[in-house]
Structure 1
């Protein structure tokens, strides 16, 4: 029996899907992000487990920042699958709600659905999970700008990004992030009171044509800065666990060093609310800001004699 002929819409979608399949971000290629399935406005991806993506070596749980990065990437693919042909897009905002810690050793899957598109904005929601979406590790909602930049791909020099780079976590037994492989992978380190830096390196690039830092990694940077601030200034008995993070992207993260600082908005016995901003050349011109909550447990107070 012969196959039913494809409709023009089906053929156009398949052509677009084939183009998108080979257009992961540069970090996505380095991290071995994989597309499992595509449909109009929808994408299913997965990230094989790697120790370098761990937040804390004593738990083996993935860093919240790599979860954010997978969700951001999958959302972008879903938006592309809702448009006609490859279109320049950029994340405007992304809200991540962490439902439960990831399971050590298991690959992480994601499903994103672009459910509404206007002339300028695409709206998308996504879930990260292990076995099924009914037991999410994290959920996300976001907005993307359509035709965000008009860089000429034909003239962009992308020769430096033709080969992938190894994602590793250099050993640093006495450093601030000695127990956080993913933070060390990104090179994050404190440079002043309440200021941390993420040095530029090829591995953090998302868009190779600008080039620009991956939006998910900017989120990872802000989350790590918040963890650093809490552990430096507060007497907590356990590692801060992210509950939710809302990131606003204000301008592209260029291929230069980035800095971040954090303000504690409210410190309760179990919940800490914070605000963070990231900048490059000028603190008055942030590239992104974030607001979020962490769960903490206060250290027990010594009893009076």
Structure 2
């Protein structure tokens, strides 16, 4: 007969902040996401520009999935700092609205506020920006479940010193599907079959290392990438569509397995396309996440019509 686990004692804010800063996700550490400032339920982070984050080598603009993963983790930290450190958290849904492309070469910053907590749910909003929060690159709203499972990252014994992030090695694939998208190559995304893409499991995309579980923001990045490729293929578009908004619903933990995804067009207009995408692992009938969003069709490659 198993012995019931002893509940963790509540943490004073300074201890909680230290735990949040030193026991973060594997991807957060590898990406170099820095926790710059914090208050109860509020976090400011930054992410330096790195070549591996680029989504289009033609423009140098970072991949939207990098912003999604950053906002997901920043929101999660704000939720943890609104609680007392005794409960695990999990993203239920995350909505990203892209306001404008990030300027190449500049760091991305994020500010997140957990503005309401109920017994089981935490509500949070965030802004990603570069030089001024009044000119956002993207905005986000999210819901997190508190006490989602027994794998509270803040209670695990190991800690990391977040110094200089490791080098992000990029596979060389000059003629492949993602020859012009370094971040998609870094994630290892590739064609699978019947219009689906596959993202191989790697320890570097882990969010919760206790389970381990794939970072929710990375799952969002995979769904967005699948949608961009699938919509462009189906419409025969010569230019990659421009993301407008993306809502990700998290249905199950992404385990230490390869993930697969596909997309379908819900509605097509002259300039706007609505899509729906799903990601799964060993059973397509049990998706780990779904996404709904809108793209703007570009008339020419590299253009950025409003």
Please give the TM-score of this superposition, normalised by the length of structure 2.
0.89
Larger displacement relative to structure 2 (263-272 or 146-155): 146-155
SS at match of 1:182: helix
- Distance in 1 between the 2:154 and 2:21 partners? 20
Gaps of at least 5 residues in structure 2 are 1-10, 160-164, 301-306
- Distance in 1 between the 2:42 and 2:228 partners? 33
Cα displacement (A) at 1:122? 0.2
8 A Cα contact 2:24 2:153, kept in partner: no
* Counterparts in 2 of 1:107 and 1:152: CA distance versus 1, 3 Å: closer
Cα displacement (A) at 1:157? 11
- Distance in 2 between the 1:291 and 1:71 partners? 18
Structure 2 residue aligned with 1:235: 236
Please give the TM-score of this superposition, normalised by the length of structure 1.
0.89
CA offsets 1:250-280 (integer angstroms, 9 cap, x no match): 0000000000010011121211110000000
Structure 1 residue aligned with 2:14: 14
Cα displacement (A) at 1:239? 2.0
* Counterparts in 2 of 1:62 and 1:41: CA distance versus 1, 3 Å: same
Structure 1 residue aligned with 2:125: 125
Q: Larger Rg: 1 or 2?
A: 1
Structure 1 residue aligned with 2:248: 247
- Distance in 1 between the 2:232 and 2:97 partners? 21
SS at match of 1:80: helix
* Counterparts in 2 of 1:158 and 1:230: CA distance versus 1, 3 Å: farther
Cα displacement (A) at 1:166? 4.2
Output aligned runs, 1:207-246, within 5 Å.
207-246=208-247
- Distance in 2 between the 1:158 and 1:38 partners? 22
SS at match of 1:175: coil
Structure 1 residue aligned with 2:103: 103
Structure 2 residue aligned with 1:270: 271
Output aligned runs, 1:151-300, within 5 Å.
151=151, 166-298=167-299
* Counterparts in 2 of 1:298 and 1:104: CA distance versus 1, 3 Å: closer
Structure 2 residue aligned with 1:302: none
Structure 2 residue aligned with 1:8: none
8 A Cα contact 2:13 2:40, kept in partner: yes
8 A Cα contact 2:82 2:114, kept in partner: yes
- Distance in 1 between the 2:53 and 2:154 partners? 34
- Distance in 1 between the 2:153 and 2:90 partners? 16
Larger displacement relative to structure 2 (85-94 or 206-215): 85-94
SS at match of 1:15: helix
Where do 4+ consecutive residues of structure 1 move more than 3 Å?
151-159
SS at match of 2:65: helix
Q: Tell me the number of residue pairs that the alignment of Structure 1 and Structure 2 aligns.
A: 287
- Distance in 1 between the 2:231 and 2:253 partners? 27
* Counterparts in 2 of 1:153 and 1:52: CA distance versus 1, 3 Å: closer
* Counterparts in 2 of 1:228 and 1:157: CA distance versus 1, 3 Å: farther
- Distance in 2 between the 1:237 and 1:298 partners? 8
Gaps of at least 5 residues in structure 1 are 1-10, 300-305
Cα displacement (A) at 1:87? 2.6
Larger displacement relative to structure 2 (54-63 or 82-91): 82-91
- 2:83 maps to 1:61: no
CA offsets 1:154-207 (integer angstroms, 9 cap, x no match): 998989xxxx86422211011111100000000001111220000011111111
8 A Cα contact 1:170 1:185, kept in partner: yes
